[in-house]
Chain A
Amino acid sequence: MEQVPVHEGLFTSDGGGRLLGARCAACERWQFPAGPDCPYCSADGCETRPLSPRGTLCLFTGVLNRPPGYLGEVPFGFGVVELPEGVQLISRLTEADPTKLRCGMQVRLEIVPLHVDDAGREIMSYAFAPDEATR
């Protein structure tokens, strides 16, 4: 089945998938999704680069009801993940049950299907999963 990202420029699928952030040369902070201008210090010329696929879960909850515009499965997990680059980002989590999640848990990126669109294409997005290898 043909796979298409939910939005261009969010992630690459090579080597298991990497999110694409942008690093500001002036203040060295990262933003996600990538953009040319720094939302922290207003410098321009931020460079798009892949972010680390592993991180730490900071906060989490479970979404039980289908939010507007979302055609994927419910329930799903939702949280804040911190990556080694120092950036914290909002992400879907593959684990929907909050009792199986904890703050400080190691998580890794997965590129996962959201739903199949009318043209029969699989719409792909990113999510973080508990990292079994480091449990």
Chain B
Amino acid sequence: MSDAVEIAGVGIHPFGRFADKSVTAMGVEAVKQALAAAGVARGGFQAAYCGTVYSGVAAGHKVLTALGQTGIPIVNVEAGCASGGAALGLGVEAIRSGRCDTVLVFGIEKMPKGIIRSSFFEPWREQAGLAVTPAYFALRAQRLMRDSGVTREHLAYVSVKNHANGVHNPHAMFRKPFTLEQVLGSAVVCEPLTLFMLCSPNEGAAAIVLRRARGDAPGRVLVRAAALRSHLPGSVLGEHTPMSGLLDEDLPPPSQLAARAAYEEAGLGPEDLDLAEVQDTDSARELISCEELGLCAKGGAGKMLDERRSDLGGALPVNASGGLLAKGEPLGASALGQVVELYWQLRGEAGRRQVEGAKVALGHTVGRGANASVVILSR
């Protein structure tokens, strides 16, 4: 019996703002699409994992209740921005262990507006002005500029690149291109980050049907790795945003730990990748992600942009979907949204954002907790 896991079908509810729609209704749409695409009938999957952060009690159960597809184990998974990746990892394990043949994995979210408010911060930290997510992003951006020779223009270019890609993504929230001047000239949020360098929290859903791989039909996409790691103790600017620690350069961040684990699990390395979807909650985060995942050398993110390597049409396109900068970030759905995009890319179904001949792809999310997930797919 093969323990390889394939994607049998995907579904997505566009990312954006949908005032009159419940998070359950968005989940239902994505799940129905994925089950239909996979040809999975009622009773055709043995477990379900739902990634979500803000949806409250038994959120995944509500989606499957609406569809009359309950009775199986349903587990809601919260791992910050990596919730969808964590859910995918559990689904993959359920199949590899032999316990399940077919598994449903989905992510749903309806985020509050504005700066992400989070029970992660104790009330006094909010009251003291220390729960300022974009300010932490800004400090990381300043450190990147100091250590990697990244300039404000580089930061702006990430946004220009991703928004240009997002124009071609019907599921993205923002489908308008920006010039470098527009990004640099947008309102400063926290120096050096301007408004158009930051992603917008929003709403959406994504669903994936996983099953034990059978045959080798053309268009088959395998999940080669789904790794999840948390932060090591110590780093003051880690995504876990502690109040104290060290700016320790030698301490591997969670994304690097997850990438290492995923490359090993897949038996592949960054040199094998044809494209990547990486966490770009802000422009600097995309560049930090590229360095941490080994998509460029440490300190080489600026050069990667200068050489246009991460452009659509470059050697290793990053965020061909438009990334979170164009799509927006529905926390629980964002990692699985990446997987949906990469599935289409590997099957040559990504339309005008298609990376020609893509065979191996990586998805990455990192955030609160701290958590990082790295998913590797291949055809």
Most buried by A among B121, B138, B241: B138
Q: Is B215 an interface residue (CB 8 A)?
A: no
Q: A6-B128, A62-B191, A69-B131 are in contact. Are A32 and B243 (CB under 8 A)?
A: yes
Q: Is A21 an interface residue (CB 8 A)?
A: yes
Q: Is A125 an interface residue (CB 8 A)?
A: yes
Q: Which residues of chain A in 18-76 are interfacial with respect to chain B, using CB atoms and an 8 Å cutoff?
A: 21, 30-33, 39-41, 58-65, 67-72, 76
Contact across chains for B233 and A6 when beta carbons are under 8 A apart: no
Which residues on B sit within 8 Å (CB–CB) of A30?
244
Number of interface residues of A (CB under 8 A): 42
**What is the CB-to-nearest-CB distance from B127 to chain A, in angstroms, rounded to a whole number?**
5
Q: Which residues of chain A in 71-89 are interfacial with respect to chain B, using CB atoms and an 8 Å cutoff?
A: 71-72, 76, 78-80, 86-89
Contact across chains for B127 and A6 when beta carbons are under 8 A apart: yes
**What is the CB-to-nearest-CB distance from B100 to chain A, in angstroms, rounded to a whole number?**
36
Contact with A along B110-124 (1 / 0, CB 8 A): 000011010001111
- Bound CA–CA A44/B370 (angstroms): 23
- Bound CA–CA A10/B243 (angstroms): 11
Contact across chains for B189 and A64 when beta carbons are under 8 A apart: yes
Contact across chains for A114 and B128 when beta carbons are under 8 A apart: yes
- Contacts across chains A and B counted by CB atoms under 8 Å: 118
- Bound CA–CA A70/B123 (angstroms): 10
Q: Is B247 an interface residue (CB 8 A)?
A: yes
Contact across chains for B190 and A63 when beta carbons are under 8 A apart: yes
Cross-chain contact of B139 among A7, A69, A78 (Cβ < 8 A): A78
Contact across chains for B130 and A92 when beta carbons are under 8 A apart: yes
Contact across chains for A88 and B247 when beta carbons are under 8 A apart: yes
Cross-chain contact of A67 among B126, B143, B233 (Cβ < 8 A): B126
Which residues on A sit within 8 Å (CB–CB) of B237?
59, 80
**What is the CB-to-nearest-CB distance from A102 to chain B, in angstroms, rounded to a whole number?**
11
Query: Which residues of A line the B interface, CB within 8 A?
Result: 6-7, 10, 21, 30-33, 39-41, 58-65, 67-72, 76, 78-80, 86-92, 98, 103, 114, 123, 125-126
CB-defined A-B contacts under 8 Å, sample of 15: A41-B233, A60-B142, A61-B192, A69-B123, A69-B126, A70-B128, A71-B127, A78-B190, A90-B241, A98-B191, A103-B146, A114-B127, A114-B128, A114-B129, A125-B127
**A-B contact sample (17 more), CB < 8 A, given A61-B190, A67-B126:** A30-B244, A33-B244, A40-B234, A59-B142, A59-B143, A63-B132, A64-B189, A65-B189, A67-B115, A69-B117, A69-B127, A70-B131, A78-B130, A78-B138, A89-B243, A91-B130, A98-B191
**5 nearest CB pairs, A to B:** A69-B126, A7-B124, A61-B138, A32-B244, A89-B244
